[in-house]
């Protein structure tokens, strides 16, 4: 079995590859949307004290917060949003980027977003927000990588 983020992955982790494949394999945009909403409902709430200005994702219409911590060299994420669809997109990224090293997160290909097929179901501002969440996660990974 390949290590997450190894050269055998397409987007930077096996989890991201599997999520993209799962979402893109359905031809019904509504089913993809429903899956994202299901992920939103499964995402644990983020403690209020972690919802600070420096953890707020810029460029999102809704309120989105993401926090990371490094445990045994692997990233763990906490996140929340006040909009269900955005929370689902966040949950998707948390699922895909969880338990990776900072270097692996930093090397994730943003093309993953297009590969999910979700853009057909998202407004341009939501699609842009999805990318901004990924960028924020990569920024946090960069900071943790430098401090490690």
Q: Is 80 helix (H, G, I), strand (E, B) or coil?
A: strand
Distance of alpha carbon 142 from its chain centroid, rounded?
Answer: 15
SS (H, E, C) 24-68: HCCCCHHHHHHHHHHHHHHCCCCCHHHCCHHHECCCCCCCEEEEE
Q: Report how far residue 48's alpha carbon sits from residue 11's, in angstroms, rounded to the nearest whole number.
A: 32
Residues 6+ away with beta carbon under 8 Å from 143: none
- Our answer to whether residue 60 is catalytic in this structure is yes
Q: Report how far residue 39's alpha carbon sits from residue 24's, in angstroms, rounded to the nearest whole number.
A: 16
Catalytic-labelled residue, pool 23, 39, 46, 60: 60
| Residues marked as catalytic | 60
């Amino acid at each position: 079995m390949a290590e997450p983020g190894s050269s055998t992955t397409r987007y930077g982790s096996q989890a991201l590859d599997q999520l993209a494949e799962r979402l893109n394999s359905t031809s019904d945009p509504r089913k993809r949307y429903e899956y994202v909403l299901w992920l939103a409902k499964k995402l644990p709430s983020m403690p209020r004290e972690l919802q600070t200005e420096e953890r707020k994702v810029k460029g999102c219409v809704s309120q989105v917060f993401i926090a990371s911590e490094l445990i045994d060299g692997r990233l763990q994420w906490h996140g929340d949003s006040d909009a269900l669809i955005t929370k689902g997109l966040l949950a998707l990224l948390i699922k895909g980027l969880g338990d990776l090293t900072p270097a692996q997160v930093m090397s994730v290909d943003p093309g993953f977003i297009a590969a999910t097929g979700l853009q057909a179901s998202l407004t341009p501002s939501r699609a842009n927000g999805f990318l901004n969440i990924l960028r924020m996660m990569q920024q946090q990974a960069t900071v943790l990588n430098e401090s490690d």
